[in-house]
Structure 1
Amino acid sequence: MITFTRRTVIAAAFAAAAMIAAPTSFAQAAPEKTDVTIAVGGKSLYYYLPLTIAERLNYFKDEGLNVKVVDFQGGSRSLQAVVGGSADVVSGAFEHTLSMQAKNQPMVAFVLQGRAPQQALLVSNKKMKDYKQISDLKGKKIGVTAPGSSSQAVLTYILAQGGLGPKDVAFIGVGSSSGAVSALRSGQIDALINLDPVVTILLQNGDAEMAVDTRKVSEAEKIFNGDLVAGTLYAPEAFVKKNPNTVQALTNAMVRANQWLTKASAEEVAKVVPESYLMGNREVYLAGFEGNRDALSPDGRFPDGCAQISLDVLRKVNDKLDPAKLDLGRVYTNKFVDEALKKYPLSK
């Protein structure tokens, strides 16, 4: 015979209440597509570090996905892979969603990796010893990662604040690795805008001085009058609509990676990433991470108004973009991140 005391009845009541109150949003439906290919241009860059963390710490696998990351030489090529059908999702610059919508090939960004451009404008200590302000760059050769790239768009916007237009300088494509370093050291260019580890290498070796640092969120906000977001995961609108559970799983993994990076030390990051990322110089990699930490998104959310700011910058290099023909509300969504944050809430 079973007897019930007041204590056991109360305990049972609490247990029942807990079961009723348990959130159901965590019982996520299975991904429609478990094998997913993500195309990226320059995977080892800090710009895409959350992607590497999600992959290396098995966060994608935890969400029931088998993710293959294919690295291309530049963001435009990774975009072409998705357009051509050899990849499902792009890990790339947010502004591509705007340019693709203008081409009637709508893309949707669904989780943010970087909340600032993470690009720095450096001037050569050899060729521009007397540099004081942006207007001093008139008539100079300035290295960009590639013609028409995000770096050129950001640079053009910066130049305008010094009263200079695109025709006042010569843009030289130098890539985002050793070629960029060599171009400045050899005197082929007078200045350059680039990403890390190029930036940290040139600064630490005394080859260049910092002119503008958009790796710092506060400085980037002043330059662009708001949030010029950077790396994202984005995919064709049709893919997102057809595979919402898959997109949710990808987002969950990336949100976890973003959160891990907000707490990780530079040494912990270096232990997780492939050895090749260090390029034989661990100290440079550690310093580069600290230089970019502020620009990494802590939660994956897109800030209000970010699409308009990206459009303003993009139009500096593509004045054919007609704002009247764009629906900025379609180029990104926070709904998947909001769900991910229910499963992986931000810790205080």
Structure 2
Amino acid sequence: MSLSRRDMLKLAGVAGAAAVAPRFAGAQALEKKDVVIAVGGQALIYYLPLSIAHVNGYFKDEGLDAKIVDFAGGSKALQAVVGGSADVVSGAFEHTINLQSKGQAYRAFAQQGHAPMIVLAVSKKTMAGYKSPADLKGKKVGVTAPGSSTNMMVSFYLAQHGLKPTDVSIVGVGAGAGAITAMRTGQIDAIANLDPVISTLVKEDAVQIVADTRTIKDTIQIFGGNMPSGCLYTSQEFIDKHPNTVQALANAIVRADKWIRASTPDQIAKVVPESYLLGDVELYKLALQGNKEALSPDGRVPDDGPQTALNALAAFVPNFPKDKIDVSKIWTNDFVNKANQKYPNA
């Protein structure tokens, strides 16, 4: 791709402690073109901006060769970046808070969702008489992976209703066909998952929804404020060393966010991999419509979002050091602000 000097300058971005030497053309080049992005359940609508940035060629347009590695859940993707096998995570915003509590500096720099999109539902087969959250005690609850954002949502919901995380058995079931099979066959009594998994089970009349964070209204009701969800995050060290690469990633995600907002479910369903549709394109389109409000329109983190995420995490993690967390260090809108200048009407 041939870039003019003006285009090269637009790629430049600095956030947090990042600093770029005052050179010109050389300083604007990507420090790292080959980037590995870890994700936990890429087919989920939760991660749709990542997929759109990839299939629509937005990463390539920014000069990146992005390799996406898919894991069973967000906690596994986090382990990949901490372990050094991935550079960036497409995952849940609150993971950056959890990492800081363990002395590790990670920062979210491009938002894909501004509501969690997680739904908690109970089986109509094994929990046909469900009346209240108390009925979950002693039951097996399927999540994408233990320690993931779906696990957090379950624990937070239980805490709100006077139950402890240990009152249920958490079972990792993934984020695709395996999760659906686990519910169909009675391996689990309840499930916290996302679309298209949830919409598939609802269509089959297999589950009863008891908590839903696919809308801003319900998210605020459950969490007490705006709750940022899917995002790109990486270590502060990576941002410091590769600010132009991080800017390029943010550019691609913001462009994808805006493309999704401007597109119909028909248009989106035509470009995603066929495997995402789980054999039912009409159902997938319905799920897209149901989650569209929860997808970020511009990549920005809402001002109250980081504190809401901290409150949620502290509510269910035993002895969480809430007072020692500096939320200003776990996110930045600097890169997405520049991306919105580059792509104001993408």
**Same fold (TM > 0.5):** yes
Change (3 A) 1:78 1:189: closer
How far apart are residue 27 of structure 1 and its match? 6.7
With 186-195 and 331-340 compared, the bigger mean Cα shift is at 186-195
- Which residue number in structure 2 is paired with residue 305 of structure 1? 304
- Which residue number in structure 1 is paired with residue 193 of structure 2? 194
- Which residue number in structure 2 is paired with residue 119 of structure 1? 118
Question: Are 1:104 and 2:88 an aligned pair?
Answer: no
Aligned CA RMSD, in angstroms, stands at 2.1
Give the fraction of aligned pairs with identical amino acids, expressed as a percent.
51
TM-score (norm 1): 0.87
Distance of 1:346 and 1:221 partners within structure 2: 29
C-alpha contact 1:142 1:171 (8 A) present in aligned 2:
yes
Specify every segment of 5 or more residues in structure 2 that has no aligned partner in the other structure, as ranges.
1-5, 13-27
With 90-99 and 159-168 compared, the bigger mean Cα shift is at 159-168
Distance of 2:237 and 2:7 partners within structure 1: 30
Distance of 2:11 and 2:280 partners within structure 1: 44
How far apart are residue 97 of structure 1 and its match? 0.8
Distance of 2:37 and 2:147 partners within structure 1: 23
Change (3 A) 1:202 1:105: same
Specify every segment of 5 or more residues in structure 1 that has no aligned partner in the other structure, as ranges.
1-21
C-alpha contact 1:30 1:64 (8 A) present in aligned 2:
no
Change (3 A) 1:208 1:71: same
How far apart are residue 256 of structure 1 and its match? 0.6
- Which residue number in structure 2 is paired with residue 314 of structure 1? 313
Distance of 1:39 and 1:183 partners within structure 2: 25
With 45-54 and 97-106 compared, the bigger mean Cα shift is at 97-106
Letter in 1 for 2:222: I
TM-score (norm 2): 0.88
- Which residue number in structure 2 is paired with residue 262 of structure 1? 261
Question: Are 1:334 and 2:333 an aligned pair?
Answer: yes
Q: Give per-residue Cα distances to partners, 1:146-202, cap 9 Å, x unaligned.
A: 222221211121122323222333333322222322222223332211111210111
C-alpha contact 2:139 2:189 (8 A) present in aligned 1:
yes
> Number of aligned pairs?
326
Question: Are 1:289 and 2:288 an aligned pair?
Answer: yes
Letter in 2 for 1:65: L
How far apart are residue 23 of structure 1 and its match? 11
1:186-265 equivalences under 5 Å are: 186-265=185-264
- Which residue number in structure 2 is paired with residue 146 of structure 1? 145
4+ residue segments displaced more than 4 Å: 22-25
Distance of 2:271 and 2:237 partners within structure 1: 34
Distance of 1:342 and 1:105 partners within structure 2: 31
Q: Give per-residue Cα distances to partners, 1:241-296, cap 9 Å, x unaligned.
A: 11111111111111010000011111111111112212222122212212211110
1:83-102 equivalences under 5 Å are: 83-102=82-101
